[in-house]
Amino acid sequence: MLQILETNLQSHRALIDRWKFYWYILWKSKSSALGFTIIALLLFIAVFAPYLAPYKPDDYVGLRMAGPTLDHFLGIDHLGRDLFSRLIHGSRISIQIGVLAVSISLFMGTLLGLVAGFFGGNTDNIIMRAMDVMMALPYILLAILIATVLGPSLENAILALGVVRIPRFARLARGNTLYVKELQFIEASHSVGASSLRIILKDILPNIIGPIIVYATLSLGEAILGSATLSFLGLGAQPPIPEWGAMLNEAQRFIRIAPHLSIFPGIAILMTVLGFNLLGDGIRDILDPKSKR
């Protein structure tokens, strides 16, 4: 019994050590540390938005289009709302969009890629040719198309952004599946009578998930950027939702007289996308120690 306890303790310690090691790798590189900091800050802001924001996002607080002052230090928008508070509330929306859209592409793409790679033959051909057709169109155009057909709303924008990225995940998953399924432990699994479903989910998926997670992190930034684009074009979030892209859309009319209304949401988008990209690189270094440059 004591021995069991001891080994449990040992494996527990090994686990802690492993996380410490990941932490070390993440902080060793300045860029991934910066990315991590930005994203941590963003998450903090999103979680505590109502407490951090000095005003409600939709309240009239003062003179329209006033520049930054001490009370409203990012200024006031064209409807008299506090820009700083709106940006803070907008972070929630952006994270939602990113996570939901990427979840759709991650789930569907990985599933399709696994099935195509594992079964091969006609299954593979049908799935991957459909993916190729989707890849042939620039993805933002495809997203605009889907969002237009479904009607402009935040939900539809998320769906559109999720769908257009499915092919990328499918390709990534399929490529790695093709490699992993030829390894000997898969044959060993077959030889003990494992079903295809079991082999796909328990043997192949854990072995291909690393690069997919990295790609998902990088996609978060792109999905947020994509949603800003759709909203800017009026196809995504509709006013008064404080979505950053929608704010840019409203602000462009006043870019000459109130440039701060365009600049600050732009910076927010830039920082978020940058943060996710840097963090994604950091996670890649953790998950694939051999890719050291």
Options 147-155, 162-170, 184-192, 249-257: segment touching other proteins (CB under 8 A): 184-192
Strand partners, 55: none
Site for other proteins in 40-99 (CB under 8 A): none
Options 144-152, 190-198, 216-224, 226-234: segment touching other proteins (CB under 8 A): 190-198
- The single residue among 100, 189, 213, 238 that binds other proteins, judged by CB under 8 A, is 189
Site for other proteins in 149-168 (CB under 8 A): none
Q: Are 198 and 261 in contact (CB under 8 A)?
A: no
Shortest Å distance, C-beta 184 to other proteins: 4
- The single residue among 47, 137, 183, 201 that binds other proteins, judged by CB under 8 A, is 183
Alpha carbon dihedral 73, 78, 82, 87, in 10-degree steps, equals: -90
Strand partners, 76: 82
93 membership: H or E segment, kind and range: helix 83-119
Site for other proteins in 207-266 (CB under 8 A): 207
- The single residue among 54, 138, 206, 289 that binds other proteins, judged by CB under 8 A, is 206
3 binds other proteins (CB under 8 A): yes
125 binds other proteins (CB under 8 A): no
190 binds other proteins (CB under 8 A): yes
- Residue (142 or 283) nearer to other proteins, CB: 283
- Measured distance CA(49)–CA(42) in Å, rounded: 10
- Residue (12 or 253) nearer to other proteins, CB: 12
Directed axis angle between helix 2-28 and helix 30-47, to 10°? Answer: 100
Amino acid at 100: L
Cα dist. 284→25, 105, 115, 216, 245 in Å? 10, 19, 25, 11, 29
- Residue (203 or 243) nearer to other proteins, CB: 203
Which residues, 6 or more positions from 143, have their beta carbon under 8 angstroms from its beta carbon? 157, 160, 161, 163, 164, 226, 229, 230
Tokens of 130: 């459909």
Strand partners, 82: 76
Shortest Å distance, C-beta 15 to other proteins: 10
- Residue (190 or 253) nearer to other proteins, CB: 190
- The single residue among 178, 194, 233, 263 that binds other proteins, judged by CB under 8 A, is 194
Cα dist. 178→110, 196, 255, 271 in Å? 13, 14, 51, 37
Count interface residues toward other proteins (CB under 8 A).
22
Question: Where along the sequence are the contacts to other proteins (CB under 8 A)?
Answer: 3-4, 7, 10-11, 120, 183-185, 187-195, 202-203, 206-207
